[in-house]
Chains A and B, each alone.
Chain A
Amino acid sequence: MFVSAPHRRLGRDLDPAALAALAAVAERTRPIAASQTRLLPVLPPLAGLLPDRALRRGTTLTVGRPGDDGSLSIALALVAGASGSGSWCALVGHPGLGAVAAVDLGIDLDRLAVLPRPGVAWAEATAAVLEGVDLVVLCPPFPPRPAMARRLVARARERRAVLIVVPGRAGWPEPPDLRLQVDDVAWEGVDAGEGHLRQRRMTVTVAGRRSAARPTRHHLWLPAADGTVADGAVADGAVAGAGAGAGGH
């Protein structure tokens, strides 16, 4: 009854399989010297968390687990390095971005698009922005169906974008290339009525596939006292020199 028109479909996509094949060929034929273009930079204190010391284009990361404090901060910190060097970023599904915190981390608001309440069209909207934005932070407003999640992961791979999922309560059914999890957080600076929130020390566990199969643990100041991110490594119980404010813009 219904006429299918595979060559005249509405929408912007080419055949995904053809696109993926094309991307694979392009990747193989790329000169080795240009391999850096496969990576997007991160702020120096975060390099140690990532197997490539940068974000690899085409990969998907998840940050946090239900109820985790600090997940959005990590996601924002992860995109800040690339944002500061000219990449476009998008935040999908989070209606309450703290813009000052984002700027303090080094995110360029001129190249940040926010899709605060995408509603039922969230997956389609995410797929649309993955077409032309280097890094997408996704907070799914509803639990994603596995096929939906797979499609978005595939879209990120085809478009050589980085998809950072903050699953929150909705969850994320697809195993990511890299999983970051916040284990402990501790705030410094406040007592009973004295001072003000100064900095937060957190432990982040990173696990993934291939070269990152073995989980590693890292300590960060996020936010550090100046709103950036800093290495929070502790030597013999004492805070190492890379304490407050050592994070770079």
Chain B
Amino acid sequence: MEQSPVPVPVQGGTDVDRLLVVHCPELLLEDEGGAMLRTFAEVIAAVETYCPWVTAVRPGICSLPSRGPARYFGGEGALVELVQAAACGVSPSEVGVADGLFAAVLAARRGLIVPAGGTPGFLAPLPVSILGQRDLAGLLARLGIRTLGEFAALSDADVIGRFGADGTHAHRVASGRSGEQADLRQPRTARLLAGEPAEDLPVVAEPGFWGGVSDADARAARCLSAAQDLLGPDGVVTVRLQGGRGPVERARFVTWTTGGQPQGNASSAGAGAPWPGQIPAPAPAVVHPDPVRADLADGRGEPVRVSSRGLLTAAPDRLSVEGGPWEPLSGWAGPWPADERWWSRSRRRGARLQAVTPRCAHLLVAERGHWWVEATYG
């Protein structure tokens, strides 16, 4: 699912450290009684067996400089595996590496190693709201700037003039020239972990942003932002419809942003238009995001294939999904032509088939000489 980010060289001098971040989703709160914090201390102790310079950033998040240890353990991939295994031994953890703390935290939430110099490209598609500065994000939204990349593309002079000192710093973060996003570090945490009193240090609130239309939209936007803080930006998506023959082609999942508020209709052009070769309604409720292997056989147990003219070589009689037991078909329909491969870009002639078993009805597609379950009428 994750796309590897396109490395874009950082322009000008940067003083951004290459950091490995460990993110423990179950330990993100400073809870009463300190049970989560104690578990977090154990995570840090486990990670410290590989590198002594672990910093507690805030509850559930710690970082370490990755260059030295990566060289010692044979590369960042090897280091990430070691650290992840050590941390997960204590509490479920995700590990990532990037330039600067801000990007490294986001990389950790997605379990990514962003290549050196690739951080600006990694940040570019993310929504501005991820900076956690509500006023700034609102201002940028009104200017039509929705992503960190668009924000980063503004010139320094423009940013100073319009957004002041805070905006300038956020601009440096967005462009990967600084890794220190405001309010990301919570110094209390390190103090509490050291067993020292920290009552004088404030709890930094989770960043939040909303730009809703109605009260209900605003409330929803706030809680979805909170969910994104937890899961990463791609953890919350919305769906758009577009034209296409199969159910996979007709839906497009896009990262949820507060800027993507209701536009009246989530369908784009062509969504409702009849499409040649489209499977007749009703549509399947479940569309499998990853291909699921299937085997289709005729009455004598011989595999059923699709001929070069798009016809079936025999009448299907039974189906097996992912190597499971054979199930008799109570009915089937098709084939419909399918020209596109749905999980790759290369094109080839295929076919779709509806198959009904005692338990389920499936939409099958023949590609690369195999049958796959594309969708299920679940």
Contacts and interface: CB of A to CB of B under 8 A. Distances in A.
Contacts of B26: 120-121, 124
Contacts of A10: 28-30, 59, 203-206
Interface SS of A by simple majority: mixed
A128 interface: yes
Nearest to B197: A3
B192 interface: yes
B197 A187 contact: no
Given A67-B359, A100-B241, A116-B289, A227 B220 contact: no
Contacts of B206: 10-12
B223 interface: yes
A113 B224 contact: yes
A2 B282 contact: no
B216 A96 contact: no
Given A9-B30, A69-B360, A120-B25, A99 B241 contact: yes
A125 interface: yes
Nearest to B31: A9
A177 interface: no
Nearest to A223: B282
B141 interface: no
Interface residues of A, number: 74
Contacts of B330: 187
B203 A9 contact: yes
Contact of B223 (A11, A116, A132): A132
A67 B223 CA distance: 31
Nearest to B378: A72
A224 B241 contact: no
B263 A110 contact: yes
Interface in A199-216: 199-200
B285 A101 contact: yes
A190 B332 contact: yes
A111 interface: yes
A50 interface: no
A224 B282 contact: yes
Contacts of A100: 241, 247, 250-251, 283
Given A6-B32, A69-B359, A192 B331 contact: yes
Contacts, number: 242
Contacts of A110: 238, 261-266
A1 B192 CA distance: 8
B256 interface: yes
B236 A115 contact: yes
A181 to B, nearest CB: 15
Contacts of B267: 103, 109
A117 B235 contact: yes
Given A4-B33, A10-B205, A96-B289, A114 B253 contact: yes
A191 interface: yes
Given A72-B378, A98-B286, A129 B251 contact: no
Interface string B202-243: 111110000000001101111110110011000111111100
Interface string B277-302: 00111111111110000000000000
A111 B204 CA distance: 30
Contacts of B247: 98-101
Contact of A124 (B230, B237, B289): B230
Contacts of B377: 69, 73, 187, 197, 200, 223
Contacts of A119: 25, 231
A204 B238 CA distance: 30
A98 B284 contact: yes
B378 to A, nearest CB: 5
A100 B192 CA distance: 51
Identify the interface centre among A101, A114, A223, A224: most chain B CB within 10 Å of its CB. A101
A88 interface: yes
Nearest to A200: B377
A112 interface: yes
B364 to A, nearest CB: 12
A12 B29 CA distance: 11
Interface string A27-58: 00000000000000000000000000000000
Interface string A126-155: 001111111000000000000000000000
A129 B283 contact: no
B356 interface: yes
Given A112-B239, A125-B230, A128-B223, A3 B198 contact: yes
A114 B236 contact: yes
Interface string B17-44: 0000000011011111110011000000
Interface in B288-340: 288-289, 312, 315, 330-334
B31 A96 contact: no
Contact of A111 (B28, B38, B220, B235): B220
Contacts of A1: 34, 195
A2 B190 CA distance: 11
A222 to B, nearest CB: 9
Interface of B: 1, 25-26, 28-34, 37-38, 59, 92, 192, 195, 197-199, 202-206, 216-217, 219-224, 226-227, 230-231, 235-241, 247, 250-251, 253, 256, 261-267, 279-289, 312, 315, 330-334, 354, 356, 359-361, 375, 377-378
18 contacts: A2-B33, A2-B37, A2-B38, A4-B33, A88-B220, A96-B286, A99-B251, A108-B266, A112-B238, A117-B235, A128-B226, A128-B227, A129-B227, A131-B223, A197-B282, A197-B333, A198-B282, A200-B361
